[in-house]
Amino acid sequence: MTTLSQRCPDVYDHFMLVAFASNVTENRFSSVGLDQTHEHLNARVKDDGGALGLTENPGALRRWMVAGPP
């Protein structure tokens, strides 16, 4: 990691832009890794009763993905 800026400048630039994290709130301090953000979104879907049975109907799943809970 100490030589990342010389060996892989493109990857280093992404790290410096915090492209490996997502903000949960407006506060930058609350940034979490992309994999954890994905898990949070999955939990929200399950809490809302969300995706039960939707995977069997592509049209319903698509509608839910567009208009479902944020």
Mean pLDDT, range 50-61, rounded to an integer:
68
Domain count, the chain: 1
Cα(66)–Cα(49) distance, integer angstroms: 16
Question: Which has the closest alpha carbon to 24: 16, 32, 36?
Answer: 32
Minimum mean pLDDT among 1-5, 7-11, 17-21, 36-40: which range?
17-21
* Domain that includes residue 35, residue range: 4-67
> Collapsing DSSP states into helix, strand and coil, what is residue 67?
helix
- The torsion angles phi and psi of 66, rounded to 5 degrees, stand at -80, -45
Q: What global pTM score does this model have?
A: 0.41
